[in-house]
Amino acid sequence: MPSLQSNSFLGTERLTVLMRRYAVPCIISLLVAALYNIVDQIFIANASYLGSYGNAANTVVFPMTVVALALAVMIGDGCCAFVSLSLGGGNAEDAHGSIGNSIVLCVGVSLALTALYLIFQTQILTLFGGQVNEETFVQSWEYFTYITLGVPLYMFGQAMNPIIRSDGSPKFAMVSTLAGAVVNIILDPIFIFGFHWGMMGAAVATVLGQALTAGLSIWYLFHMRAVRLEKSSFHLQGRLMARFLPLGMCSFLSQISLVAAMAAIQNMVVKYGAVDAVFGQKELAQIPMAVLGIVMKVFQIVISVVVGMAAGCIPIVGYNMGAGRKDRARQLFKMLLLAEAAVGAVAFIVVELFPNQLISIFGAANESAYYTDFAVRSFRVYLCMVILACVNKAAFIYLQSIGKALASTMLSMVREVVFGVGFALLLPRWFGLDGVLYSMPVSDVLTFIITLIVIFYTMKALQDAPPEQHTQVPQA
């Protein structure tokens, strides 16, 4: 099939060039996605008639968007890895079949999730703290209603983004995400300040941005480069879904576990903040919760770069593995680990040397000295092992890209659930609020020890392929 040759450069082009071409757009796409919620909060916070109630409502609803994102990336990232492996092996039928199946699956799952959210709206909002007071619940209900109506559009755009990258168009994937973000940024102030639509305005601006991303994704599906969709592509096949969904399980767990980890951390902050000598005072009780939220958002920006870099390499790794070029896959793994460690090193320098400047971005000027002191300590302790966290995340995603879904999933589960949630619940018993801060670096160190072993065996398995395999895709 001639169109398959359009991706043959993945087996011949220099790896540094490929990493730059694929990783940069992916990083930008994920950074934009990470900033989506922050942008909404900035505009909501600056609207006097919404203020803290609106921000609280945004926070209450946020975990439900994470659930939708987790399902979308499980489908999209899994399909992306499988398509790359299929194209590398010259199997066009499985490639277009998996894309068609992912589209049908995404639409069906998103509609089911939308119905679930609308039916159990009160219970869900209550579960995530929406009834902290009457005004917050009213704002949460309004915001959640409109955000929920946009869930199918949001999930479709997020699921198609990695699939578009696997087809050899990382720039288009980036542009479609950026276009949606720009629409959101433009419409937020118009709807919130101009029309005074409140939380509905913030939600509608977000949904319209998501609609543009979804629309651009649909257009691309009719103009794919390496794969041509057929009617048969959309016939659900259990064989295909059983192969590509496990490859996205790591992406799913990395997102869904955030909900569990945030719940654990927030509960411990409330519990042990109440008995703290300083933050046990009523007027200061909210500070630990606010600070930890800021630190986690800064960390989310770092992780967006890390995940973007690793996820951008999925099509490159998958193609070369499918083509029998284990030597290139091994070399790329080394380059990726070094690059991720460098990102972690930069982040480490920033959080350790410039925590005051970081917290000032989030409005520390009008807060008490206790706020700044706790923020400085939180940045320096909570993120002191950020280099290891970056390397761990890169290894998880790389394993996913070479088809080792079980190893990737198990490592992710150990880090995010066993260690992440476990230490967040246990360490505060002995160290109080500081125990919450210690939970992150302790989890990263223990995970890194396990990851080192996995990296060693992965490198060993990716030793240079026999010479005859090198003839499948000639080296440039």
Give SS3 for 368: coil
pLDDT class of 410 with cuts at 50, 70, 90: confident
Q: What is the mean pLDDT of the chain?
A: 80
> What's the N-to-C CA distance of the chain in angstroms?
22
Phi-psi label, residue 465: left if phi above 0, alpha if psi -120 to 50, beta otherwise: beta
Q: Say if residue 177 is in the same domain as residue 313.
A: no
Q: Average pLDDT of 183-193?
A: 92
Structure confidence at residue 469 (pLDDT): 44
Q: Please tell me which residue, 79 or 10, carries the higher pLDDT value.
A: 79
Residue 468 lies in a domain: no
Per the CB < 8 A criterion, the answer to whether 113 and 151 are in contact is yes
Per the CB < 8 A criterion, the answer to whether 252 and 73 are in contact is yes
Q: Say if residue 67 is in the same domain as residue 163.
A: yes
Q: Please tell me which residue, 398 or 36, carries the higher pLDDT value.
A: 398
Q: Please tell me which residue, 218 or 403, carries the higher pLDDT value.
A: 218
Structure confidence at residue 222 (pLDDT): 85
Structural domain range at position 96: 20-244
Structure confidence at residue 4 (pLDDT): 41
Q: Average pLDDT of 390-404?
A: 80
Query: 386-401 vs 249-273: helix axis angle to the nearest 10?
Result: 150
Structure confidence at residue 2 (pLDDT): 39
Structure confidence at residue 12 (pLDDT): 65
The type of residue at 407 is A
- pLDDT tens, position by position, 131-156: 655 776 888 899 999 999 999 999 99
Q: Say if residue 204 is in the same domain as residue 307.
A: no
pLDDT class of 187 with cuts at 50, 70, 90: very high
Per the CB < 8 A criterion, the answer to whether 54 and 47 are in contact is yes
Q: Which of 193, 225, 244 is the last residue of a domain?
A: 244
Structure confidence at residue 6 (pLDDT): 54
Tokens standing for residue 384: 């002191």
Structure confidence at residue 472 (pLDDT): 41
Structure confidence at residue 93 (pLDDT): 72
Q: Say if residue 229 is in the same domain as residue 276.
A: no
Q: Say if residue 234 is in the same domain as residue 204.
A: yes
Q: Average pLDDT of 355-382?
A: 77
- pLDDT tens, position by position, 110-127: 999 999 999 999 988 877
Q: Say if residue 134 is in the same domain as residue 263.
A: no
Residue 162 lies in a domain: yes
Q: Is the pLDDT of residue 467 over 50?
A: no
Mean pLDDT is lowest, of 15-24, 88-97, 121-130, for 88-97
Q: Average pLDDT of 423-432?
A: 91
Structure confidence at residue 458 (pLDDT): 75
Q: Say if residue 308 is in the same domain as residue 444.
A: yes
Residue 2 lies in a domain: no
Residue 7 lies in a domain: no
Quick one: how far is CA 260 from the chain centroid? 15
- The whole-angstrom separation of Cα 388 and Cα 386 is 5
Q: Please tell me which residue, 299 or 15, carries the higher pLDDT value.
A: 299
Q: Say if residue 225 is in the same domain as residue 329.
A: no
Q: Is the pLDDT of residue 474 over 50?
A: no
Q: Say if residue 43 is in the same domain as residue 156.
A: yes
Quick one: how far is CA 21 from the chain centroid? 20
Structure confidence at residue 213 (pLDDT): 93
pLDDT class of 163 with cuts at 50, 70, 90: confident
Residue 99 lies in a domain: yes
Q: Is the pLDDT of residue 109 over 90?
A: yes
Residues above pLDDT 70, as percent of the chain: 83
Count how many domains the chain has: 2
Q: Say if residue 223 is in the same domain as residue 337.
A: no
- pLDDT tens, position by position, 42-73: 777 667 676 556 766 777 788 888 889 889 98
Q: What is the DSSP string of 245-273?
A: TGGGHHHHHHHHHHHHHHHHHHHHHHHHH
Q: Which of 193, 219, 244 is the last residue of a domain?
A: 244
pLDDT class of 473 with cuts at 50, 70, 90: very low
Tokens standing for residue 457: 């065996």
Structure confidence at residue 471 (pLDDT): 39
- pLDDT tens, position by position, 377-389: 989 999 999 999 9
